[in-house]
Structure 1
Amino acid sequence: MGTLRQILQRGEFVTGIGVYDMISARIADRTSANAIYVTGYGTVASHLGLPDAGIATYTDMVGRIERIVAGTSKPVIADADTGYGGLLNVHHTVRGYEKAGVSAIQLEDQEFPKKCGHTKGRRVIPMADMAQKIRVASDARSSEDFLIIARTDARTGLGLEEALRRGEAYAEAGADIIFIESPESEAEMAEIAKRFDKPTLINLVHGGSTPILPKERLVELGFGVAIYPGLGFLAAAKALEDAFNDLAAGKENTTPIYDFAKFNEVIGFPEVWEFDRKYAAPGS
């Protein structure tokens, strides 16, 4: 499969399945998708049970990201919000994410505290301040195979043209992939994809502001990367709600469930059983 940079250089479209814990990561790793995306929204919700509103810290995130990288085989794209502070924080965050084995870090130009990109009340910092963050991030990495994704949230509050201007500034500052958050139509998506000579990323949130287009259409428009941060936790939440409500009401479960034997395989029990066969004392 290679690194994320190699995948992009080969002209392959990158599909980043959104994961938020080790169960979702293990299952995503068994698919034919060529990347994994660690969603800040989902990880904060799973770990803290709180909204993606600038509450989670670098420490909250980096340990979970490191575990996901270690437990999977695909390139991992990881959300790093605003870099968790100022320029020195960005430098520290880039070093930490790269050490954790991440293939690409996503940094955004929101004011702190940030908010999920498909929710209300987002405000952005000055373009020059974000461009400096991207320069710091680019200089902080030890390998060019570690990619910098620059996200702007300017579309919603300041319009598409301002978001595109910011994308150009961030590309010039050293970003490898440009991410214009929350376009509201296919026409806007087309304008974004054709504007840059670097790969562009589209964030497809089920129930969000951006149309969910098939992969073939995204390729036609010119995008290089698509991430799907919400599909996993939304599907899991619906299944849990239905199954738990039936259980609480004393009803027979009718929700489709994962095969238990297959889940044992996904989570790694065959390796445990092989270890026991090799090392455990007879009768233990």
Structure 2
Amino acid sequence: MLYSTVTPTRKRADFRAALAGGRLLRFPGAFNPLSARLIAAKGFEGVYISGAVLSADLGLPDIGLTTLTEVAGRSQQISRMTDLPAIVDADTGFGEPMNVARTIQTLEDAGLAGMHIEDQVNPKRCGHLDGKQVVDEATAAKRIRAAVDARRDPNFLVMARTDIRAVDGLAAAVDRAKKLVDAGADAIFPEAMASLAEFAAIRAAVDVPILANMTEFGKGELFTVRQLADVGMNIVIFPVSLLRLAMGAAERGLDTIEAEGSLTSLLPEMQHRAELYELLDYPAYNHFDSGVFNFTLNPDLPS
């Protein structure tokens, strides 16, 4: 009932243990707290909170318009809803190194298990758009060092994302990944890899966990979980997938109302009321309510 009873400290420790276990961890992207519950109910290993989704949820493009307060608040709403670890997209850290330090502690307080911070010029843009710019090596390293120094829980995962592959090529991405690990990054997120061979090249270059981004309609091919495991990836995210599916279904629903005057024909595609109630754990709330508020007043007692 209500929120997860697993503490953020426990989630982070369990996440670190799972990463060390060698199994590829699947983190679908939650677009709201309810979808996070569904991810957990379906047996996935974690929840991803996408900056692109948070921006879209506000009706904004993914070009660095969201604030730390908005990201942390929504992330807390999502992460507290399941026992799973949640990792969040922290863009470029919302400012200079001191801002990055504040970002880390704010996200820790929000209950996240980890975050990733990227090496794009601020304000950033979606990793699969053209025209990206990345900061120099020293600036990228300062962001990571600030994040690592600021965290209070050593199990809070500081992941470094590099977008340099699309700007300067694979060799630059390999070199940047090494430098980010040297700066203290616990994991690497190489954005917009073009092939499994490129993922394998990053794997050969560093000995920390690596995240693969399987976002639809982007610059990279969509590989299977098995293919990614075979080249040594440790985490795979599907960042915007559930939002895209939900919005596609919503668009079809609105078109059906316009065309048919009702949604009767789409009833088989909808989540049933009973399924929603099960996901929300209505029985637990009902039991709590009847157990606490089932008293009656005795009319014979003096007032």
TM-score greater than 0.5 by the shorter chain: yes
Which residue does 1:86 correspond to in 2?
96
Give the Å deviation of 1:128: 0.8
CA distance in 1, matches of 2:262, 2:166: 45
Q: Check the 8 A contact 1:246/1:253 in 2, yes or no.
A: no
CA distance in 1, matches of 2:223, 2:291: 50
Which residue does 1:3 correspond to in 2?
14
Q: Which moved more, 1:210-219 or 1:162-171?
A: 210-219
Q: Check the 8 A contact 2:116/2:160 in 1, yes or no.
A: yes
2:219 pairs with 1:209: yes
CA distance in 2, matches of 1:104, 1:12: 18
Which amino acid in the other structure matches residue 290 of structure 2? Answer: R
Cα distance change of structure 1 residues 159 and 254 upon mapping to structure 2, 3 Å threshold: farther
Helix, strand or coil at the partner of 1:106: strand
Q: Check the 8 A contact 1:184/1:209 in 2, yes or no.
A: yes
CA distance in 1, matches of 2:172, 2:264: 51
CA distance in 2, matches of 1:197, 1:261: 46
Which residue does 2:284 correspond to in 1?
271
CA distance in 2, matches of 1:80, 1:149: 10
Gapped regions of structure 1 (runs ≥ 5): none
CA distance in 2, matches of 1:84, 1:115: 13
CA distance in 2, matches of 1:29, 1:179: 23
Q: 1:164-243 residue pairs with structure 2 within 5 A?
A: 164-243=174-253
Aligned residue among 152, 158, 170 for 1:148: 158
Q: Check the 8 A contact 2:48/2:88 in 1, yes or no.
A: yes
Helix, strand or coil at the partner of 1:238: helix
Give the Å deviation of 1:131: 0.3
CA distance in 1, matches of 2:85, 2:166: 30
Which residue does 2:271 correspond to in 1?
258
Which residue does 1:17 correspond to in 2?
28
Give the ranges of 4+ consecutive aligned residues of structure 1 lying more than 4 Å apart after TM superposition. Answer: none
- Cα deviation, 1:87-139, whole Å, max 9, x if unaligned, reads 11100000111121111111001111111111222111111101011011111
Helix, strand or coil at the partner of 2:135: coil
Give the Å deviation of 1:252: 4.1
CA distance in 1, matches of 2:100, 2:164: 20
Helix, strand or coil at the partner of 1:16: strand
Give the Å deviation of 1:235: 0.6
Helix, strand or coil at the partner of 1:151: strand
CA distance in 1, matches of 2:257, 2:295: 40
CA distance in 2, matches of 1:206, 1:254: 28
Give the Å deviation of 1:189: 2.2
Which amino acid in the other structure matches residue 204 of structure 2? Answer: K
Aligned residue among 34, 51, 59 for 1:40: 51
Helix, strand or coil at the partner of 1:33: coil
Give the Å deviation of 1:275: 2.4
TM-score (norm 1): 0.95
- Cα deviation, 1:184-206, whole Å, max 9, x if unaligned, reads 12222222222211111111101
Helix, strand or coil at the partner of 1:3: helix
CA distance in 1, matches of 2:214, 2:155: 25
Q: Check the 8 A contact 2:253/2:263 in 1, yes or no.
A: no
Helix, strand or coil at the partner of 1:216: helix
CA distance in 1, matches of 2:37, 2:286: 19
Identity of aligned residues (%): 34
Q: Check the 8 A contact 2:196/2:228 in 1, yes or no.
A: no
Give the Å deviation of 1:280: 3.5
TM-score (norm 2): 0.89
CA distance in 1, matches of 2:264, 2:216: 26
Helix, strand or coil at the partner of 1:148: strand
